Amino acid sequence: MGLTFVCHYYPACPEPELTLGASKHTDDAFLTVVLQDQIGGLQVFINDKWINIPPVPGALVVNIGDLLQLISNDKFKSVEHRVLANHKGPRASVACFFSTSLAPSSKLYGPIKDLISEDNPPKYRETTVQESTSTSPTEIASEEEQNYDKISDLKAFDETKAADEFDKVSDPGKNELYVPVVDLDGVEKDTILRKNIVDIVRDASETWGFFQVINHGIPDTVLEEMLDGVRRFYEQDTEDQLTGGTQLIAIWLPTLRVQMNCQNHAESFWLSIPGKRELGRFLFELLSEALNLNPSHLIDMDCAKGLAILYHYYPACPEPKLTLGASKHADYDFLTVLLQDHIGGLQVLHQNQWVDIPPVPGALVVNIGDLLQLISNDKFKSSQHRVLANNVGPRVSVASFFTTGLMPSSKIYGPIKELLSQDNPPKYKETTVTEYSLHYNAKGLGGTSALLDFRL
Ligand SMILES: [Fe+2]
């Protein structure tokens, strides 16, 4: 009786490996009918594998939703699916959801009586469309069913999935854990203060893989201007976007992604504030000291040599429950420095729970990437993180990745010799940044860490 149309427009994505067009989810409707274009990217999760649903000219894709699985008492299956981001694009699709979710109704739905027998007792209790769309399927499972061992057909709702991307493990805002905030004020003048700061950075890098820095020397007005520039760029006409748009953005575009292999260029981003410290290099100094190494050690290893900058714009999402701004992933680089706006949504997986990284005015979020975990021989931690979609917005962020990425380099990285001992033998084999990033990209997001494949 109810029908909701959602029209999707996924722009061509410069970094498909860091993004999903639509994260893994099931539909909460009875039935969905999708018209997709020729670009492709839609996948369905069958037998532990992602299977492509290739575009067929003139075809419509039909899929069972959660409510049909419920009333069919698991006879029909609401299967997880996702849309991969694509270099090509834009990808456009029109999805029609058969559901009265937005029209208040007290009509009750439970497993259809004619389908129920002694051998096939109801697996779900009765619910309304409104309740089922705002509740996780496990919460609707009948009491008896909650006590049963889950049969394989119910796998989509089992505990491991509940701990995955669309889990409700963390209730944003209610957790009491905080990512450390490091105040850099006075760090260069006071050696005792610097030692304290290094201790905090070490502790944060070992336990969280994340920290925020304040008083880093980049004025708030510059940070605001960067975020405004991203907003302006994404909100102008497509034609202007391609030609470079506003003055501020013209430095960074048209690719939206700037990869620089030359130290001078890399520094120019951080040195755009006259007289201030070079924040990227300074962070590597603190991290070197946190590893009890010479302050220039990581810089001498060329960890700060390459810089890739990504500008994200997440529009306000009408269906935040069905979407993640960015799926769970760890970064493949050495270090990431993120400027996020006031909207929030970034979370880190810490001690098996999702913890908010709340926007702190003027702060930059710093996180350890896989390559720094590798060369620190697991002393520092590359943590998984994600961005929740939000119905307020747009959310804007600027992420700076310290990596030489796909630029050809034969430089070999392995666990730093000075950190190794008989008690701490190397945990990873040696690799190049290119080899690691190719492996990371080929592996894709959402699975096990790409780092595991380099463990000795
Ligand atoms: Fe990331």
- For each of the chain's 456 residues, which pLDDT tens digit applies? 676 656 566 655 555 555 556 667 788 888 888 777 777 778 888 777 677 776 766 678 888 888 889 888 998 888 888 777 665 666 677 777 777 765 667 788 899 988 899 888 898 888 888 677 655 444 444 444 443 332 233 333 333 333 343 343 334 444 468 899 999 988 888 899 999 999 999 999 999 999 999 988 887 887 887 788 777 777 765 544 433 322 222 222 222 333 333 334 334 445 444 444 578 888 999 999 999 999 999 999 999 887 777 777 777 776 666 666 677 889 999 999 999 999 888 999 999 999 999 999 989 999 999 999 999 999 999 999 998 877 777 888 888 888 887 677 889 999 999 999 999 999 999 999 999 988 998 887 667 789 999 999
Residue 37, token pair as written in the block: 């274009």
Do 364 and 400 lie in a common domain? yes
Residue 400 CA, ligand 1 centroid: distance in Å: 10
DSSP 149: P
Helices (H), 75-156: 129-133, 137-140, 143-147
CA distance 301 to 270: 19
**191: in domain:** yes
- Which residues have C-beta under 5 Å from ligand 1, the single-atom ion? 331
Do 151 and 264 lie in a common domain? no
Residue 144 CA, ligand 1 centroid: distance in Å: 41
Question: Could you give the strand order of the β-sheet that contains 307-314, starting from the edge strand earlier in sequence?
Answer: 181-183, 210-214, 364-368, 335-340, 395-402, 307-314, 257-260
Answer with the one of 128, 160, 192 that is the final residue of a domain. Answer: 160
Do 431 and 325 lie in a common domain? yes
Residue 315 CA, ligand 1 centroid: distance in Å: 18
Number of domains in the chain: 2
Residue 331 CA, ligand 1 centroid: distance in Å: 5
Residue 222 CA, ligand 1 centroid: distance in Å: 22
**380: in domain:** yes
Instruction: Sort strands 335-340 and 364-368 into parallel, antiparallel or unpaired.
Output: antiparallel
Do 93 and 211 lie in a common domain? no
Residue 135 CB coordination number (10 Å): 14
Do 71 and 142 lie in a common domain? yes
Do 372 and 395 lie in a common domain? yes
- In angstroms and rounded to an integer, the radius of gyration of the C-alpha atoms of the chain is 24
Do 355 and 278 lie in a common domain? yes
Answer with the one of 160, 186, 206 that is the final residue of a domain. Answer: 160
CA distance 432 to 404: 10
Answer with the one of 133, 160, 187 that is the final residue of a domain. Answer: 160
**167: in domain:** no
Residue 194, token pair as written in the block: 């610097």
Q: Among 180, 175, 230, which residue's Cα sits nearest to residue 201?
A: 180
Residue 64, token pair as written in the block: 């069972």
Residue 112 CA, ligand 1 centroid: distance in Å: 44
CATH number for 140: 2.60.120.330
Do 128 and 196 lie in a common domain? no
pTM of the model as a whole: 0.60
Please say whether the beta carbons of 333 and 309 come within 8 A.
no
Residue 230 CA, ligand 1 centroid: distance in Å: 18
Do 236 and 322 lie in a common domain? yes
Residue recorded with tokens 């290099």: 281
Residue recorded with tokens 């959660």: 66
Please say whether the beta carbons of 209 and 367 come within 8 A.
yes
Segments forming the whole domain that contains residue 80: 3-160
Residue 213 CA, ligand 1 centroid: distance in Å: 17
Do 79 and 202 lie in a common domain? no
Do 213 and 111 lie in a common domain? no
